[in-house]
A = this chain, B = another copy of it.
Amino acid sequence: MLKVGDVVTVSVTITDEMVQMFSQCTGDTNPIHMSDEYASKTRFGKRIAHGMLTGGIISRVLAMNLGTGGIYLGQTLKFLKPVFINDTITVEIKVTSFRAERGIASMTTYVKNQNGELVVKGDATIMIEDNLK
């Protein structure tokens, strides 16, 4: 049973293959993500991963690693710093509230890079219930 203070931490390396696949499935072919030449001329100096790829990895940790079997009600995301190809990001999810009578849990969702810099922060809300009828 989920309880306030539960923490789950998962690290994932963002590969070029992941960025290519995310681009294909969403249709986001912005050259800041796809073109080394274009990206080299930007303030970032090299290609960055799509912000929502990091969002997708947060949602994967909620679904697969926190193990709530829940229904995603909401997510907020603040993109604080870029995530580059080959960065290893660590998603930390901490349960901050759980109203058992309504089955609604809230958690903070923080993402840091391999240098310990906070790259994305936000909050998730999930309805905890057994999906099976």
Contacts and interface: CB of A to CB of B under 8 A. Distances in A.
A119 to B, nearest CB: 12
Contacts of A63: 28, 30
Q: Give the interface residue-count category, chain A.
A: 35 or more
Contacts of A57: 26-27
Given A52-B52, A59-B26, A133-B42, A73 B79 contact: yes
Interface in A29-76: 29-30, 32, 41-43, 50-53, 55-60, 63-64, 71-76
A21 interface: yes
A25 B27 contact: no
A43 B77 contact: no
A59 B51 contact: yes
A11 to B, nearest CB: 12
A85 to B, nearest CB: 13
Interface of A: 12, 17-19, 21-22, 24-30, 32, 41-43, 50-53, 55-60, 63-64, 71-79, 131-133
The 9 A-B residue pairs with the shortest CB-CB distance in the complex, in nearest-first order: A28-B60, A26-B56, A21-B25, A52-B56, A52-B59, A18-B25, A42-B131, A30-B63, A51-B72
